[in-house]
Structures are given as C-alpha cells and as structure tokens.
Structure 1
Amino acid sequence: MTLNSGALRPPLGLRLQGVEFRPPELLRWKLLSRRGDFRFRCCRSCSDKVVPNRRIVTVAGRKCLDKSEEWQSDLRKNNHKVRVQAAPARRFASSQPELASRQEKYFPRCTPRNSGPPSRDTPPKRDTGIANARDWGINLLTEQVNESGINEDGSTWYRESGEDLGENGYRCRWTKMGGQSSDGSSKWKEAWWEKSDWTGYKELGVEKSGRNSEGESWVETWREVLHQDEWSNIARIERSAQKQAKSGTENAGWYENWWEKYDAKGWTEKGAHKYGRLNEQSWWEKWGEHYDGRGSVLKWTDKWAETELGTKWGDKWEEKFFGGVGSRQGETWHVNPAGERWSRTWGEEHYGNGKVHKYGKSTTDEGWDIVVNEETYYKAEPHYGWAEVVGDSSQLLSIQPQDKPPGVYPFLDFGSSTLPPQGGSPPTTPPQDGSPPTTPPRTQ
C-alpha cells in the first residue's frame, strides 16, 4: 500500500455552508420540445453584450439596486444565443463565491445598520494552501463601531472595530465580529486587521474560529506581510496560513501549517507541515521548496502514516539541481505489526550531458546500478514567484501608514522576526473548541 492511497488521506467529513448558485441571468435561452425531450437551441446571430435595464433607488438614505426591474427576457422573440466562456480556474479553493464579496455577506444592500452578520459556522477546507487577500475579502470599517444585538431566532451577534496607535508610527486598524445560537451550541468569531509603521512594514491578517451544532470545531489564521530584509535591504513578502479542525462525531481531525516567502531578487521558499487522524489511522506530511534566484533548486517531501494495530508506511525524496547538474534520491518503506521492515532506496545522478546514473536496492535483494541517456528536467524558477505575489498583493501594498514627521527616523530592531518561526511540531489533536480571536497583538 502506498502513502497516496485513499486510506491514508481520508477527507474529514465537515459540512460546508451551502452556497446558492444561479446561472448568469443574461443567458436567454429558447426552450424547445422534441419528442418529449427538452433541449436548448439558439442561433448564431446574437450580440456579445447584453445591457441590463436597472435603476438606482434610495432606501433609508442608502443607494441600492431596484430589483423590481430584472433582466428583460422575451422567449417569444428571442432566437439568439450568447457565447459562454468558462471562467479561469482559481488557484486556491474557497468556500465563498466570487460573485459576491465577503463584505456584502455582512452588509447586504439596503440592510439596516444595526442588523447582525449572518452565522459563520463553516469549517475551513483541507489542502487549500494559502488563499489570496481577494479571496478573504478583507474590507475594514472606516469608522469605529461597537454594537450587538439579538436576532429573531434568539441568536446573538456583535461587531466591533477600532484603531490602535503606538511608537515608531505603528498603526493597526481592526474589525471583530461574532455570534452564537440561542442555545449556545454554535459559536463563531472572526477578526480582520491591517498594520503598518514607518519602517515600511505592512501586514494583513485574518483569524477565524468557531464550533457548530454538530460539534465540529476549528481555528484558522492567515497573514500576509511586506517588510524590508534587515541585512540585504531587499523587499520581501511573506504569507502564512494555519488551519486546524476537529470532528464532533468521530475521533478525527487535521492540522496544516503553510508558508511562502519571496524577495525582489527571486529568492523563494515554500513549505507545509500537515497532520491528520481518522479514528485508528494517523498520517503526517512535510514538504519544502527553495529557490535561490540564481538557478539553484532544492525540493523535498516526507510522508508517513500508521494505524493503531502497528502498521506503518511512508515515502520520502529529495532533489538538488543547479544548471542541469544535480541528484535525486528517495526511500519507500513499510513496517508490519510484527515489526518486520521492508524498504527500497533509490538515487539518480544527473551529469548535465544527457547521461544519468541510476542506482537502488531493497531489503528483498532488489538492486540496480546503470547509466542511461535521459533528458534532465527541472525548473530553476518557481511557477509562482515574486512577480505573481506582487500582482496578488495589491491590498497589502495599498495600506497607508501614518505620516512621518520631518527629521524622524524609524527605529529598526534587528533582533526581531516579522513572522513566527515556521516548521514547529503540530499538536497531537486539533483543539476541542475554537479559541476566540482577540484584538490583533502588536508584533513589532
């Protein structure tokens, strides 16, 4: 059995909040019936642009769309077909639709100011990496708010926002919100923030936690940071995400720690540590990538799993390349409940001239040692690097720090780290209940 088998990486059955999908309303189809079967048919002489007929009205001092006038559709006169182009695939999965921003979820059009945000009792998804800021939909309130209320079903909610100022031009704008059901079985909390100071440090962050009526609990934190490297003075962007969740009905849970680091000269580092459990099975995974920006590449992966009966198995490999010259090596292993171990090790030496030395052996007397003609393939640059992360960090880059008085120089602390150290050991089990987000702590 290999580590990639379905038994090793079972998905945790956490319900996702339903998302209603409606097809684009500008599609005007003609429905025809032929021998009892329905099908869609249109002709080719349609226009690529359809202009909706809508009005803007004012309700309680707010401008909003008048939904009394919807898209004009006349099936009796319409013999046209509009061209439908598939939207590009998104790099990271998200439980929220792109058609509506996160802020619109909390503040719908024409909604009274004192109405509470809807319940956010959806656990995060596994193996979705680090989402972009646009996927989080961070939209901080421009004024200070401190309000709470009770909904018709008895559930309660609160919403707060504010701004903290400190030394060295430190500024943190934040928004917190949360709520719980009338019986307390479902709770959720969220905090969003942005930080800046005179050194050029900028940060966006989100922390979410909660527990739903089925006993599922979770905590999720995401950060995106722009700062200047203390020694090289090169701009650097670092992103991280930590996610963990626990089932309420099974002995099941998972933990993920993701990080990405980029600088303006092409240096890139990426990695993840993962842990999961489903009843009697547990599994772990670690991987990393490092690009020095000058053609040197290091990649590695280590995966292993075990059962309560004592069966263990895993797989790991590593590759190092520079200028077409490099090596690959790895091991696959298995241990049965009696403690008997089987393993197979392998390696490759790439000389850069079209020849590759391959060798390996196993505990069952397998062995090989050959030289073959083979083209070496590796990528000296990440598929997602500095240019891409800058393009996806427009909200981070647009953070406006406080004005610095003339003649004032920022204090630089060369002994501090802008991000917490990565690669720590995950907890043995995810938390029983989500920890409440607090006002974001100052990390300067």
Structure 2
Amino acid sequence: MATAATSRGFTMPFNLRLRRADVATLNDKNGVLEMRRKKRRLLTSDWGVVKCCCSDSVVPIRMATGSGNNVEKCEDWRFDMKKSQNSQVVRAPAMRFASPQPRFISKQDKFFPRCSPRNSGPQSRDSPPKRDTGIANEKDWGISLLNENVNESGTNEDGSTWYRESGEDLGENGYRCRWTRMGGQSNDGTSEWKETWWEKSDWTGYKELGVEKSGRNAEGDSWWETWREVLHQDEWSNLARIERSAQKQAKSGTENAGWYENWWEKYDAKGWTEKGAHKYGRLNEQSWWEKWGEHYDGRGSVLKWTDKWAETELGTKWGDKWEEKFFAGIGSRQGETWHVSPRGERWSRTWGEEHFGNSKVHKYGKSTTGESWDIVVDEETYYEADPHYGWADVVGDSTQLLSIQPRERPHGIYPSLDFGSTPPTDEPPDESSTSQ
C-alpha cells in the first residue's frame, strides 16, 4: 500500500496524539462564529514515528521522498567539516549557538512567568527560540494581560534592571487593544530582552491575540520572534476564519550563522485549511532553504508540496522537491532530487506516479545517469483528504482568543466594512532566494 507523502520537512508543529473533546455550540457576541457539536475520535497520526532531532543543538532534518512507495526517510542534515571538500553530497549544518536557560529560575517562574507578584520584577529571558517548533498553542505562551494600567521598574540584587508597563488603546469602529510590555538588561548591558503581549478586538467581530519577543545575550546571540492568532469573518464567504502565524529568527554572536522561519495556518468553518512554512539557515560557508505547503479545500481536494535546497560557498548545490494532488482517490505525485558540483556538473533523478482510482498506478522516472522505469502496478492509493489538525481542533485550542470581550457597541451603531475590490490571494511572501 502506498503511503502518502507529507510536507512536514522537520518536526511537527502540533501534538500528534490529540485528545479531541466534543466542542459544543459556540456563539460569538457579534454573531461571527457558530460551531456545531461534532463527534470526534482519538486519532494517532502515522507521523508519530518521526523523531525530533533538533533541540538545543538546532539541527534541521530533511525528509526525503522516493518514487517507490513514497515512504519518507528522515535524514539528519549535519555538516561534517572534515569531509566537506571531498564529499559529493554535503549535509547542511547543525547550529549550536543557542544559549542555556537562566540558572536558579524557580519552577513557578519557568512555567508561569507572568504570575509573579506585582512587587517583584519579571524573570530574565536570555535564550533564543528553538528552531522547527512550528506555531505554539495559546497555553504554551501563557498570555495573561494585566487588568489595570501599570508602569513600574526596578533593580535586582545582581544589578540587572527591569520594567513592566500595561495599558489600553482605543480607536474607531470599536477598536480596543489591551497590552503589556516588559523587559530588562544586565548590569553591564551585555544582555537585554523585551516582550510585548496584546489582545485586540473591534465591532466587526475581529479578535487577535499575540506576542513579540526580542533580545541578545552576553555571547552576542540575538533573536526576535512573534506569534499571532486571529479570528475574523471572511469577507468573501462570510465564514468564521481562524489564522495563526509565527515568525522566528536568531543570529549567532560568534559565527557567521543564523536562521529564519515563517509559519502560517488558516482554517475556516467549512473545513478549508491551508498550512505552510518558509525556512532559511546559514552556518559559515553553508546555507539551506526549505518551503512546504498543504491546502485542503474542505471537499476532498488536497495539494501538498515541499521544496528544499542547500549550497556551499565552494559551489556545491543539492536539493529535492515533490508535489502531490488528489481528489476522490485520483491524483498524481511527482518529484526530483538533484545535485550540482562546484564545476557545474549536474545530476538529477525525476519520478512520478499517476493514480487512476481503480487500484492501478502508473509509475515512471529517469535520471541523468541513464536509469529509467515506466510501469503500471496494482496498488491501493492512500492519502489524507482531511488535515490531521483542522477546524474543530483549532477552535478547541483557541479558548483565550474566543473569550476576548469587545467593547460594547452603542445601539444603532454598525461597524464599517471594507470588502475591497478583489478577493484575497492568501499567497505567502516571496523569498529572495529560489531553488534550482
């Protein structure tokens, strides 16, 4: 049985074993969200066998897809410094500049840093974010905004300083933004950190929850990350829609090394789902990129794709990519693996599959070394027509977003809506680099 390829290039952004409780009918105060009770079952994804090899060592992992049964293989993109000049295939590097967590931090401050008493300063955050962690859920961020205006600062026993501020901004159309800012720096100024937390709402039913973090440490490592979760009514379908996104980047203070990630997820109440990520990394003379995407139309049509490539300053380049399209058991898969030597010599292998929906699969492929195949086999087609994490899941994990209370709308006042002239494209931002 052929196994469907997945666009998860590295680790999974969600817990693969989800406890899905029944979601009762939800009614937003402004009437933009209605969720009917849906019976769900405990699902265990086949992806659960994928191991995360990138903790504090910050190691990207490559998922390679072959043409045969498309069972994905996990390869560690590590870079062997001793073999880099002689090997035909060079692995992308591990990045090891992430700093350890602060010492002497209590368990409460570690897991509930926003719950410290008013008369004590916030704990220092002097570590860059981890790579390949996807988009965290609300409970992992622990946003707890203060209900009153605060403007305070202080000095700790070690000479480090801190500040904490909170407030509320109001605007037209019922706009309200509640926010809290905090930060601090070491006594000698070599390390500092900043955090901003917010929730936004207006009379159209728009709700947003977010955070932005940045900092640098004594080793010279610097970082920035932001996370947003949004509920709004789609302008063209009038359906409730939840969108989540995360951007993360870090730069080493001791090496020519750094990385960047952009993740996004979009869901609507009819089952339409889009997910994707763009990633980039560099370690001294090596750079690598990855893009992947998934699109479910809510009616059984699925598109998935991945494109990964890397290069060295010596001129070596390599990569692989694949794409699959399916609907009602009929569809195709195709891909390519390629390599370019410093002298410009190119090797590639292309492969494809055509699934006809009648247990017949046409498999074909060729390479620049002369190998080729073109056969029809009896094989059951397997693919996921629905995302393993969809609308019901994201609603269940967005309780804090849904609980945001907008300003009360005066009687007879209606929100102004701007539908624009063209429908949205939902296209991710362009990357400066392109694959070969």
Structure 2 length-normalised TM: 0.76
Q: Cα RMSD over matched residues?
A: 2.4
| Residue type at the aligned position of 1:6 | R
Q: Deviations over 1:228-258 (max 9, x none)?
A: 0001100000000000000111111000000
Residue 172 (structure 1) aligned with residue 177 (structure 2): yes
Structure 1 counterpart of 2:287? 282
On the 8 A contact 2:339/2:348 being kept in 1, the answer is: yes
Quick one: which of 113, 122, 125 aligns to 2:127? 122
| Residue type at the aligned position of 1:16 | P
- Rounded to whole Å, the distance in 1 between the matches of 2:354 and 2:426 is 34
- Rounded to whole Å, the distance in 2 between the matches of 1:149 and 1:338 is 60
Structure 1 length-normalised TM: 0.75
Quick one: which of 230, 235, 242 aligns to 1:237? 242
1:388-407 paired onto structure 2 within 5 Å: 388-407=393-412
Structure 1 counterpart of 2:210? 205
Structure 1 counterpart of 2:316? 311
1:246-325 paired onto structure 2 within 5 Å: 246-325=251-330
On the 8 A contact 2:109/2:123 being kept in 1, the answer is: no
| Residue type at the aligned position of 1:412 | L
Quick one: which of 219, 223, 227 aligns to 1:218? 223
- Rounded to whole Å, the distance in 1 between the matches of 2:197 and 2:350 is 47
* Structure 2 counterpart SS, 1:135: helix
| Residue type at the aligned position of 1:105 | P
Q: Residues 310, 427 of structure 1: CA spacing in aligned structure 2 closer, same or farther, 3 A cutoff?
A: same
Q: Deviations over 1:316-355 (max 9, x none)?
A: 0000000000000000000000000011111000000001
Give the superposition deviation at 1:279. Answer: 1.1
Quick one: which of 12, 15, 32 aligns to 2:99? 15
| Residue type at the aligned position of 2:316 | T
On the 8 A contact 2:317/2:341 being kept in 1, the answer is: yes
Unmatched runs of 5 consecutive residues or more in structure 1: 23-98, 429-444
Unmatched runs of 5 consecutive residues or more in structure 2: 1-61, 65-74, 80-90
Q: Residues 387, 106 of structure 1: CA spacing in aligned structure 2 closer, same or farther, 3 A cutoff?
A: closer
| Residue type at the aligned position of 2:312 | T
Quick one: which of 73, 78, 81 aligns to 1:6? 78
Give the superposition deviation at 1:2. Answer: 9.2
Residue 105 (structure 1) aligned with residue 113 (structure 2): yes
Which of 1 and 2 has greater Rg? 1
On the 8 A contact 2:161/2:187 being kept in 1, the answer is: yes
How many pairs does the alignment contain?
349
Q: Deviations over 1:155-210 (max 9, x none)?
A: 11110000000110000000000000111100100000000000000000000000
Structure 2 counterpart of 1:326? 331
Give the superposition deviation at 1:280. Answer: 1.0
Q: Deviations over 1:403-442 (max 9, x none)?
A: 011111100122399x9976324579xxxxxxxxxxxxxx
On the 8 A contact 1:103/1:139 being kept in 2, the answer is: no
Q: Residues 253, 322 of structure 1: CA spacing in aligned structure 2 closer, same or farther, 3 A cutoff?
A: same
| Residue type at the aligned position of 1:191 | T
Structure 1 counterpart of 2:37? none
Give the superposition deviation at 1:16. Answer: 3.1
